[in-house]
């Protein structure tokens, strides 16, 4: 029995030494400052969040719940359409139009009548109906609820139109806070 205890003690000793070394090494690596070192002041650059026009976002916080919805401009086999031609999104979501054929635009307004709310390629000079070609990508983030019609400036007469329905953002219900426990009166 005494021999068995000595064997167990001999086997446990290296394991205990290894564990002690790991603990001491971890403690030292977490604190690599000397006792007389001054703390390091780091300046974190301010992040500026802007909308599609380069204006600062009111809340300064990105909407982590926003989504991107893809629409194909002039898909092969039906070059005079948007696919899908209607999308339902929420405030803060983005529609991304990608060209699969040449000589098309995305211009907001009723068919053949631009309203200047958004247009490819850069939301500038919407009345010009600037055309883009295969591979071009245009994105627009919708910040207000409503129904937004759009069309291709060159092919609106052929029915190349689309609609973006923007629903109000759904706010999550607030998390109820627990009631404070009253202190017993003496």
What value does the mean pLDDT take over residues 145-150? 97
**pLDDT above 80: residue 65:** no
The C-alpha torsion from 18 through 20 and 23 to 24, rounded to 10°, is -110
Q: In this model, does residue 45 exceed pLDDT 60?
A: no
Q: Is the pTM of this model over 0.75?
A: no
* 8 Å CB contact between 81 and 74: yes
Which residues sit opposite 146 in a β-bridge? 166
Q: Is 79 left (phi over 0), alpha (psi -120 to 50) or beta?
A: alpha
Residue 135: pLDDT band with limits 50, 70, 90: very high
């Amino acid at each position: 029995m005494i021999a068995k205890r000595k064997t167990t003690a001999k086997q446990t000793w290296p394991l205990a030494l290894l564990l002690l070394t790991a603990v001491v090494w971890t403690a030292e690596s977490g604190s690599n400052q000397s006792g007389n070192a001054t703390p390091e002041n780091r300046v974190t650059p301010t992040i500026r969040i802007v909308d599609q026009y380069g204006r600062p976002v009111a809340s300064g916080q990105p909407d982590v719940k926003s989504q991107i919805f893809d629409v194909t401009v002039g898909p092969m086999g039906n070059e005079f359409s948007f696919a899908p031609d209607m999308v339902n999104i929420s405030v803060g979501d983005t529609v991304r139009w990608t060209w699969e054929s040449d000589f098309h635009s995305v211009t907001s307004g009723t068919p053949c009548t631009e309203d200047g709310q958004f247009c490819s390629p850069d939301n500038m000079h919407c009345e010009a109906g600037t055309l883009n070609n295969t591979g071009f990508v245009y994105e627009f983030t919708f910040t207000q609820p409503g129904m937004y019609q759009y069309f291709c400036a060159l092919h609106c007469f052929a029915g190349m139109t689309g609609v973006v329905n923007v629903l109000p953002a759904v706010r999550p219900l607030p998390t109820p806070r627990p009631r404070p426990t009253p202190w017993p009166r003496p």
